Amino acid sequence: MEGRVPPRHLFGIDSLTPEEILAILDAAEGLRSGTTTLARLDGRVCGLLFFQPSTRTRVGFEVAMKRLGGATVLVTEVKSGPDMGWAETVEDTVRVVADYCDVIVMRHADSEAVCRAMAGSRVPVINAGSGHEHHPTQALLDLFFIRRRLGRLDGLRVGVAGDLVASRAARSLVMALRHWPPAELRLMAPRGREMPQALLEGFDRHSITVSDRLQPGGLDVLYMAGLPHASDTARYPTEVRDGLTLTPGRAAELSAGSVVLCPLPRVDEIDLGVDASPHAGYFEQSADGLFVRMAVLARTLT
């Protein structure tokens, strides 16, 4: 419609400039430390459209909205499936929800569906994880935690381990790190499941190392993206899975002060024995998600 300001959607971490990312991290840090507050969202409603399972992201957004004074409504049923009798397009679902809500947070197995939702929505849509490609708020909370624990984002030795084709969290983090080039980007993935080359454009080729086994030595940050489907021994034979599991013995190779991150849920990529290690940051990282999602909602709605 002529003259209408387009909604402030958030599709991928690459939709944000480095300045915008830092502004979100700063707002989140102000909340965490109690030094600043955010504009209240009293009376505003967030539609949570989760068409794939989620615990952290869904609960994180729900609590973030409520902490800011707003309300939420959760939709999980899919009406576009052939077995529903009255099939509905994602555009129609979003159009209806947008008439009741001020912002939509959407998770979907298909990134194209989130694109279509954004194209058809008159309210902002925040991508809460789509396909194998995008998980922008996960990347923001990963950056937030890295900066908080290590004091900076650039020049770090960062390892990313797991199925780097299927992990939207790993892919989103690597996408974001293009703004803060690592001294080393160590990519550890099973053969055939390596990070797509297109995502490595923009990095200094000499900073990238690859391995099909976990090699934690010398890293500042170890990001355990994991291998899905623990029972799928055809895709991930036991020796491949074992080679990419962080055990207490392998965690002992980490440098002092280095941190282990994981988007969670954990399958078996981190042995429970690592949880007591001073390197284990993943539950603290997950908790930081609340501040980041509050900052994202406030930015979107004010």
Q: Considering the complex, what minimum distance in angstroms separates the CB of residue 46 from ligand CP? A: 15
Give the residue, chosen from 263, 270, 274, 281, that forms a contact with ligand CP under the rule CB under 6 A.
263
Q: Considering the complex, what minimum distance in angstroms separates the CB of residue 226 from ligand CP? A: 11
- Identify which range of 12-20, 193-201, 239-247, 260-268 contacts ligand CP by CB under 6 A: 260-268
Q: Token pair for residue 74? A: 């959760």
What letters, b where the CB count within 10 A reaches 16 and e where it falls short, cover 257-279? ebbbbbbbebbebbbeebeebeb
Site track 7-46 with ligand CP (rule: CB under 6 A), x = hit:
----------------------------------------
Q: Which of residues 75-114 bind ligand CP (CB under 6 A)?
A: none
CB 114 within 8 A of CB 130: yes
Q: Considering the complex, what minimum distance in angstroms separates the CB of residue 52 from ligand CP? A: 8
Q: Token pair for residue 126? A: 């925040």
Q: Considering the complex, what minimum distance in angstroms separates the CB of residue 268 from ligand CP? A: 16
What is the distance between the alpha carbons of residues 38 and 52, in angstroms, rounded to a whole number? 30
Nearest to ligand CP of 93, 137 (CB atom): 137
Residue 167 binds ligand CP (CB under 6 A) = no
Give the residue, chosen from 21, 54, 177, 280, that forms a contact with ligand CP under the rule CB under 6 A.
54
Residue 171 binds ligand CP (CB under 6 A) = no
Residue 285 binds ligand CP (CB under 6 A) = no
- Identify which range of 52-60, 171-179, 250-258, 274-282 contacts ligand CP by CB under 6 A: 52-60
Site track 185-224 with ligand CP (rule: CB under 6 A), x = hit:
----------------------------------------
Residue 293 binds ligand CP (CB under 6 A) = no
Q: Which of residues 118-147 bind ligand CP (CB under 6 A)?
A: 129, 138
- Identify which range of 7-15, 32-40, 159-167, 263-271 contacts ligand CP by CB under 6 A: 263-271
Residues that bind ligand CP (CB under 6 A): 54-57, 129, 138, 169, 263-265
